[in-house]
Amino acid sequence: MKPPHGSGGAEVSSIRGLLDDLNSDDAGRAEDAQHALQAIGRRAVEPVLRDLPQLGIFGTLCVLELLTDGRPGTLVTLEWIGEADR
């Protein structure tokens, strides 16, 4: 099924590629993907959480850093959700 016009089909494809990069054996590539997903913001949250079980150990660590601000128990996801109103 083709995504509707303006639905961000290219962005979804980009997010998918970045999620694949999180599993890279190259830590630099995985970290670049992490930063790119962070820049995408809240639109990346759903696909990241959906694909989390398929990620390797390093990819999972990248996601944990992505969803927190580096302190245990602090979710950036809530901040991303607020971006919808901006």
* Position 75 pLDDT exceeds 80: no
- Each residue's pLDDT tens digit, 34-70: 889 988 888 888 888 888 899 999 888 888 888 776 5
The C-alpha atoms of residue 34 and residue 54 are separated, in whole angstroms, by 16
- 8 A C-beta contact, residue 46 and residue 13: no
Average pLDDT over residues 5-20: 74
SS3 (DSSP) at 75: strand
Q: Which amino acid is at 19?
A: L
The C-alpha atoms of residue 16 and residue 10 are separated, in whole angstroms, by 10
The radius of gyration computed from the CA coordinates of the chain, to the nearest angstrom, equals 13
- For the record, the structure tokens of 71 come out as 């302190």
